[in-house]
Amino acid sequence: MNRLIFGIAFSVLLALPGAAWAGDGETVKVRGQEFDVWPVDDLQARGLDIPTIPRDENAAWHYIEASNAYVELPRELSDALEYAVYKGWPKGQTALADYLKLPGNQRAIETVRLAGSLQQCQMPYFGDPSQSIIAVLLPNLSPMRFLAKLMVADGRRLEAEGRIGDAFERYTAVMTMGEHIAQCHTLIEGLVGIAIWTRANEAAVDAALSRSVPRKHLQAFQSRLNRSATKLPSVNRGLAGERAFGPIMVDELCARPLRVLATMRSLANVTDEFGEWKTSIPQDGWGRLELRIGRLFLPDRAIKRHMDGFYEQVARRAAAGAADAVALDFDDERYLTENIPQWDVVSRGLLPSLSRATLLGERTKAELATTRALVAIRLHMLANNGERPDDLEAIAKKLPESALDDPFSGTLLKYRPEPDGWVVYSIGPDFIDDGGEKGKRWDDLDMACHFPPAPVEPFDEGTKN
């Protein structure tokens, strides 16, 4: 438990949009707050696999531009927006429609759509390169999540106006945004990318199930889903980043062990007698003595070996997939207890709990498979006078290989005709076939698409998702 709490606190420190350090390099403003950009070449020199992407080819700068363009949501519209994002368009909400149509919001939406035309994305990281790597700050990802909500809500508005094609364009742009952010180097970016992609996918699923979507729009969405199969957001990139980050931290901790507390305290705007922690290994006598002390009390090679062994097990589990019984046997908490000695407080403190993170990646695969299945079924019905298919096998043959496989069972998704419709589902993260019953939590019961869908309760002030 202590290790988990430390890991969460450390991740929060990385994600906080704290004050920028003064410097002579590039700066960027995000929602009124100015940051110094940590040079990419410095991060690369420290051993992080950060790509060098020309600014005009990096979608991240478009997302930052879009996050600076949108208009703050009036508090009285928050419930209506949440309803629009999670359930459907709230009828009679002209105030929300007017808000979405504001020039700043439409400019933000168009900028996100422009970002979707680019192939690469790497968010800038912020801070002072003379400091320890522990002081690097991620961009505040909250504006990115709000942008996704803004676009999904606008898509629901367009659906209500009968502009189905434009609505799907909004949803697919958000899906691309999620795929882009998950390309970045940290685990938290991978998780945010998954959340953004999932939000757009759920809105598109609602539209495909509840509306008479023309064939051309379903076919275009099907093609987009086929492209998603190779770019689907996952935590794999973030796991690789976490794995690369550990040895760098060990080197810096061993080089200046007496400054660890000072650095952690400075992130909280607290100073003490140690002052700032510089990254360069000191060459004076006291600095060399500190380095020797650090390597005596923090044996770096053993710590790095422990970290690498842990991430190797995580990588093997992620590569094997959820349905593989051997992969499921790995439990990160048990591994740390059984394989990392108690003296290695660095590994026990910094290594995160990743079981649920890798499971989220598998869940996204299942979401993609069920969405591809329901779109294919709807196209089948359009081509056969509304008749549903008898089984999923014939439809699966018309799609790329394994497109409709359930990552939680290793077999084809479940499909069942019903008296007035049908249901297609993944057995979900509980690995139990619950007959297509949906749970209240993301990891509970099955992940199902029912046709026709259940009615949605009408919007009322105070309605929450």
Say if pTM beats, i.e. exceeds, 0.85. no
Q: Give residue 344's pLDDT.
A: 75
At which of 292, 318, 353 does a domain end?
353
Residue 26 falls within a domain, yes or no? yes
Distance (Å, rounded) from C-alpha 17 to C-alpha 35?
Answer: 9
Q: Give residue 403's pLDDT.
A: 94
Radius of gyration, alpha carbons of the chain: 24
Who contacts 430 (Cβ-Cβ below 8 Å, separation ≥6)? 439, 443, 444, 445
At which of 353, 379, 407 does a domain end?
353
Higher-confidence residue of 127 and 21: namely: 127
Total structural domains in the chain?
3
Distance (Å, rounded) from C-alpha 197 to C-alpha 68?
Answer: 21
Structure tokens, 63: 């997302």
Confidence of residue 337 (pLDDT cuts 50, 70, 90): confident
209-265 pLDDT, tens digit each: 988 899 999 999 999 999 888 888 888 888 888 888 777 777 776 666 555 545 444
- pLDDT higher than 80, residue 465: no
Residue 430 falls within a domain, yes or no? yes
- pLDDT higher than 80, residue 149: yes
Q: What is the mean pLDDT of residues 379-386?
A: 93
Q: What is the mean pLDDT of residues 115-140?
A: 84
Residue 464 falls within a domain, yes or no? no
For residue 306, what is the DSSP state? H
- pLDDT higher than 50, residue 159: yes
User: In the predicted model, what is the mean pLDDT of the chain?
Assistant: 81
- Asked whether residue 67 falls in the same domain as residue 40, the answer is yes
Structure tokens, 111: 């900028």
- Asked whether residue 96 falls in the same domain as residue 188, the answer is yes
- Asked whether residue 229 falls in the same domain as residue 326, the answer is no
How would you classify the pairing of strands 421-426 and 33-36? unpaired
- Asked whether residue 310 falls in the same domain as residue 177, the answer is no
DSSP for 154-196, written as a single string: HHHHHHHTT-HHHHHHHHHHHHHHHHHHTTSSSHHHHHHHHHH
- Asked whether residue 292 falls in the same domain as residue 382, the answer is no
Confidence of residue 334 (pLDDT cuts 50, 70, 90): confident
Are residues 389 and 395 in contact, defined by beta-carbon separation less than 8 angstroms? yes
Q: What is the mean pLDDT of residues 70-95?
A: 95
**In percent, how much of the chain has pLDDT > 90?**
47
Q: Give residue 255's pLDDT.
A: 64
Higher-confidence residue of 54 and 337: namely: 54
Residue 1 falls within a domain, yes or no? no
Are residues 181 and 141 in contact, defined by beta-carbon separation less than 8 angstroms? yes
Residue 342 falls within a domain, yes or no? yes
Structure tokens, 212: 């008479």
- Asked whether residue 424 falls in the same domain as residue 329, the answer is no
- Asked whether residue 367 falls in the same domain as residue 322, the answer is no
Residue 243 falls within a domain, yes or no? yes
Which amino acid, one-letter code, is at 38? W
Q: Give residue 340's pLDDT.
A: 83
Q: Please list the helix, strand and coil fractions of the chain in percent, rounded to the nearest 5, in that order.
A: 55, 10, 35
- How many Cβ atoms sit within 10 Å of the Cβ of residue 215? 11
At which of 288, 321, 353 does a domain end?
353
- Asked whether residue 200 falls in the same domain as residue 110, the answer is yes
Who contacts 213 (Cβ-Cβ below 8 Å, separation ≥6)? 164, 168, 207, 378
Residue 22 falls within a domain, yes or no? yes
Kindly report whether the peptide bond that precedes residue 452 is cis, defined as omega within 30 degrees of 0. yes
Distance (Å, rounded) from C-alpha 347 to C-alpha 295?
Answer: 15
Single out the residue of 168, 69, 145, 161 nearest to residue 110, CA to CA: 69
Single out the residue of 337, 253, 236, 258 nearest to residue 295, CA to CA: 253
Are residues 355 and 318 in contact, defined by beta-carbon separation less than 8 angstroms? no
- Asked whether residue 114 falls in the same domain as residue 199, the answer is yes
Q: Give residue 327's pLDDT.
A: 58
Which amino acid, one-letter code, is at 452? P
- Asked whether residue 132 falls in the same domain as residue 41, the answer is yes
- Asked whether residue 143 falls in the same domain as residue 244, the answer is no
Higher-confidence residue of 277 and 243: namely: 243
- pLDDT higher than 70, residue 291: no
- pLDDT higher than 70, residue 180: yes
Residue 312 falls within a domain, yes or no? yes
Which amino acid, one-letter code, is at 277? W
Q: Give residue 417's pLDDT.
A: 93
Q: Give residue 324's pLDDT.
A: 66
- Asked whether residue 423 falls in the same domain as residue 303, the answer is no
Task: Give the range of the structural domain holding residue 167, as residue numbers without chain letter.
Answer: 14-233
Are residues 449 and 425 in contact, defined by beta-carbon separation less than 8 angstroms? yes
